[in-house]
Amino acid sequence: MNQAEAQVAMRRLAELKKMVDRWRDLENRVDDITELVSLESAADEASLGDEIQSEVEEVSSRLEEMEFQISLSGRYDNHNAILAIHAGAGGVESQDWAEMLLRMYLRWAERYHYKAEVLDTSPGEEAGIKSAIVEVNGDYSFGYLKSEHGVHRLIRLSPFDADHARHTSFALVEVMPEAEQDVDIKLSSEDLRIETFRSSGPGGQHMQKTSSAVRIVHLPTGLSVSCQNERSQYQNKENAMRILQARLLKLELAKREEERAKLKGQRIVAGWGNQIRSYILHPYKMVKDHRTDYQSGDTEAVLDGKLEDFITAYLRAGLGREDD
């Protein structure tokens, strides 16, 4: 075992120890409740009854939360997540929708105290964005966000149409686990072509005069990743490498899933196919997930990052669970 693998093993051991400690703490609290019940029987005091009721409710809530976390037991669920958003066909409409989704996920991360960093963006021609890549750091960030992978559809009255006609827009959300360097994906310098170029984004004279933007091409697969958000060429290269490793890991996981599906006789449908979720703002307001049938009429809250009910429904249905 090399040093990188040893570090991953030690991190995994620490995670398991933390999990065991949580269950033991819950067990101790149940023992305390049992003792309180026996004291109440002996003393026959109503005040203890209130204390017991409060403790039972708190332990029950904690147990439900911990049982739910069992659904986040996949190999990569506790990894950080790399989230990519791509506007679909439809020009400014879809680009505006992509930016709305970016804001939604940034607000979700903020609500749940995850650290979210926009690694790269490609601005739209008139409004919105063509694409964005976000790194989300925090416990089980990939485990939760994997429910968002797929095509998202928006139906609304267009703010860009003089006639205010109803438009349907699409955007693709990709969610990838951040790879452990030199463990999940091993990269050889001979397999990479690294190019630098001048950033085309905002940033004034500095970005115009220096080649700070970086593009990395993985020659065996043809995958290409570019980053230009940072002023530092080194930082852009580091970000591009993290995104590339995450894409390669996702590609490897997709190959494994395809192999499993072939063995099971299932048909794999790839690409832009059917949307996973629809956000309808006209003629009525509703957000509906087509995989779980969970829906909400509070579209403003959802677009402001209130996604926990959709994520919970997805995970409770076992849709994101890995097969052994």
| pLDDT tens digit sequence for 150-184 | 999 999 998 888 777 889 999 999 999 998 765 56
Region for 222 from its dihedrals, namely left if φ exceeds 0, alpha if ψ lies in -120 to 50, beta otherwise: left
Q: What is the largest CA-CA distance in the chain?
A: 82
Q: Is residue 123 part of a domain?
A: yes
- Quick one: 95 and 168 in the same domain? yes
The pLDDT of residue 205 is 41
Residue whose tokens read 């955007």: 171
The pLDDT of residue 162 is 75
Omega within 30 of 0 (cis) for the link into 283: yes
- Mean of pLDDT values over 2-24: 75
- Quick one: 57 and 206 in the same domain? no
**DSSP per position, 3-62:** HHHHHHHHHHHHHHHHHHHHHHHHHHHHHHHHHHHHHHHHH--HHHHHHHHHHHHHHHHH
Q: Flag whether pLDDT at 4 surpasses 70.
A: no
Domain boundary among 16, 36, 69: 69
- Quick one: 172 and 288 in the same domain? yes
| Residues near 112 by beta carbon (within 8 Å), at least 6 away in sequence | 138, 308
Percent of the chain with pLDDT over 90: 47
φ, ψ at 311 (rounded to 5°): -65, -45
Q: Is residue 75 part of a domain?
A: no
C-alpha distances (whole Å) from 182 to each of 27, 164, 187, 234, 287 are 39, 52, 7, 19, 40
Q: Inter-axis angle of helices 3-43 and 46-69, to 10 degrees? A: 160
Q: Is residue 74 part of a domain?
A: no
Please answer whether residues 127 and 96 qualify as being in contact, where contact means their C-beta atoms are separated by less than 8 angstroms.
yes
The pLDDT of residue 263 is 54
- Quick one: 218 and 256 in the same domain? yes
The pLDDT of residue 36 is 76
- Mean of pLDDT values over 262-268: 49
- Quick one: 302 and 155 in the same domain? yes
Residue 42 binned pLDDT confidence (cut-offs 50, 70, 90): low
Please answer whether residues 298 and 306 qualify as being in contact, where contact means their C-beta atoms are separated by less than 8 angstroms.
yes
- Quick one: 25 and 168 in the same domain? no
Q: Flag whether pLDDT at 203 surpasses 50.
A: no
Q: Flag whether pLDDT at 235 surpasses 80.
A: yes
CB atoms within 10 A of CB 66: 13
The pLDDT of residue 207 is 45
pLDDT tens per residue across span 105-131 = 999 999 989 999 999 999 998 899 999
Q: For the chain, what is the domain count?
A: 3
Please answer whether residues 299 and 278 qualify as being in contact, where contact means their C-beta atoms are separated by less than 8 angstroms.
no
Of residues 264 and 240, more confidently modeled: 240
- Domain encompassing residue 94: 81-178+276-316
CB atoms within 10 A of CB 1: 8
Q: Is residue 230 part of a domain?
A: yes
The pLDDT of residue 252 is 87
- Quick one: 10 and 130 in the same domain? no
Helices then strands (H, E): number in the chain? 8, 11
What is the reported pTM? 0.75
The pLDDT of residue 130 is 94
